[in-house]
Structure 1
């Protein structure tokens, strides 16, 4: 059995300096000379810290601060990689222009607000200012019994397709789509944002697509259970890989499992399993959905993605239409409401007649000032849903009490790169 640590390698220096924690009130000045004030630490890893933050003023940073700042020693690599993406593709004006030209309500890409180097005690620290967000989908997925409704899965797919098309059109791929990298809006809990661009790769610099080349030293990059077949083979990430990863995520979110999830200690087994299902997507779906109610739209989506060439531009609109048809089949529409109720084998429970407004979660990762307009739409939809009759409410409560619990599955594990 191969040793995962030997078959997969991390990007960046092999040894990373530990992050120093700065006190609340520390002032950071970005490249444009704008000053930012740190609040309390809300996240800490082996390479850096995440702080609540706000524009500098005489007031302390409060718990409802709209920004976060990532800080790490300047010799470390992950934030440098993210910065390359954010500075090229995530400036507020670029995102705003895309939203307008594509007639979207919002785009789930975090905005870049500033970055720079901070000196203290003869040490240099790299930092980046980003939007603040709420809870990640992995936590919600586990709270819901490791399963989302078919409607929610399809709507997540639509929103993530919007993000991937934008990222791809700006010459990058994400390469690590998963529930823990999808965060709800801090003020708009029905919006979802794709974060963590530490593995983002510029696949098409200056319009020249990278060549397909297998590199045994880079095998299995990404999160093992979801990563693409190309990544398993050590090939540089591409657009089709992002779409393949999204497909595995959606199948897992709806069924609660993937066939290879019980043998993640063997990355070659995971790779071979995915390759085996490439030409037999229906067999993969039968394995994940043993009941009669199989989501045909996910079958069609995966079959289409698996036919894409390495350097081929994906048919984003065609893939969106597949998800929209899936919503139509189950009597739903793309209303922007993420219904997080638990389902059984992909079945959609009775539509909730009453739903209280979800309180914004305390942020543990980067929230956006882009959420305000869409928040108004969410609140309107919620008010409409509150007009249900007491009889329907009682019926829904009864259904929730009798809904079977789903067996907990293994939490996704990040493979070293």
Structure 2
């Protein structure tokens, strides 16, 4: 997360699974392929990724939806499923994703989350997601009675109680010896 004047930025640092969705020279969309291995984190993977289909922009958008839901809820219906082997766990996760209605996944959140997830799940492999529409859904939501104050959880100073005997003596607290706030 950004700090100070850049506290409103989220820095994404792991691009290990990134690939072009269009051929560099000829520009057509990458081809549909099946029997692909699951790549990425199963918790956030799209249903099609679980099913072994080549990933495309639709899968990125569905995954982003799961990440946003996780940020809002702190959990997802398929988090913590138990299995003895990775394949069994992945199968359980995709089964839960496929059988849990979007309205249940998004329960308690604004309807825009269900709209977003239904939209992304309806995209075909080579569809061009309407990014303007998707951003507008959430921008409109933010404008509904929410005052954007540019204060984020990670930029707020939280008072902590540090025992007096630790101040100046505990190596872990040295950076905070002049302050009782986590910076």
Normalised TM-score (structure 2): 0.72
Please point out which of 285, 299, 304 is paired with 2:106. 285
> Which residue of structure 1 lines up, in the alignment, with residue 34 of structure 2?
214
Which runs of at least 4 in structure 1 moved beyond 3 Å after TM superposition?
Answer: none
Q: Which runs of 5+ in 1 are unaligned?
A: 1-182, 342-354, 357-417
Asked if 1 retains the 8 angstrom alpha-carbon contact of 2:7 and 2:152, the reply is no
Q: Equivalents in 2 of 1:297, 1:330: separation in Å?
A: 15
* C-alpha deviation, 1:317, in angstroms: 0.6
Q: Equivalents in 1 of 2:72, 2:39: separation in Å?
A: 24
Asked if 2 retains the 8 angstrom alpha-carbon contact of 1:226 and 1:249, the reply is yes
Please point out which of 130, 152, 165 is paired with 1:339. 152
Q: Does residue 328 of structure 1 match 2:151?
A: no
Please point out which of 275, 298, 302 is paired with 2:113. 298
Q: Deviations over 1:140-160 (max 9, x none)?
A: xxxxxxxxxxxxxxxxxxxxx
> Which residue of structure 2 lines up, in the alignment, with residue 318 of structure 1?
133
Q: Does residue 269 of structure 1 match 2:89?
A: no
Q: Equivalents in 1 of 2:31, 2:113: separation in Å?
A: 29
> Which residue of structure 1 lines up, in the alignment, with residue 18 of structure 2?
200
Asked if 2 retains the 8 angstrom alpha-carbon contact of 1:240 and 1:314, the reply is yes
Q: Equivalents in 1 of 2:30, 2:74: separation in Å?
A: 35
* C-alpha deviation, 1:191, in angstroms: 1.1
Q: Equivalents in 2 of 1:214, 1:241: separation in Å?
A: 14
Greater percentage in strand: 1
Q: Equivalents in 2 of 1:274, 1:311: separation in Å?
A: 22
Q: Equivalents in 2 of 1:234, 1:264: separation in Å?
A: 22
Residues 186 and 257 of structure 1: CA distance in aligned 2, closer, same or farther (over 3 Å): same
Aligned CA-pair RMSD: 2.3
Asked if 2 retains the 8 angstrom alpha-carbon contact of 1:308 and 1:314, the reply is yes
Residues 186 and 236 of structure 1: CA distance in aligned 2, closer, same or farther (over 3 Å): farther
Please point out which of 61, 72, 90 is paired with 1:254. 72
Q: Deviations over 1:189-235 (max 9, x none)?
A: 221122211111222113111222221xx332110101111221222
Q: Which runs of 5+ in 2 are unaligned?
A: 84-88, 158-183
Q: Equivalents in 2 of 1:338, 1:228: separation in Å?
A: 31
SS state of the match for residue 214, structure 1?
A: coil
Aligned residues: 150
> Which residue of structure 2 lines up, in the alignment, with residue 91 of structure 1?
none
Greater percentage in helix: 2
Asked if 1 retains the 8 angstrom alpha-carbon contact of 2:62 and 2:117, the reply is yes
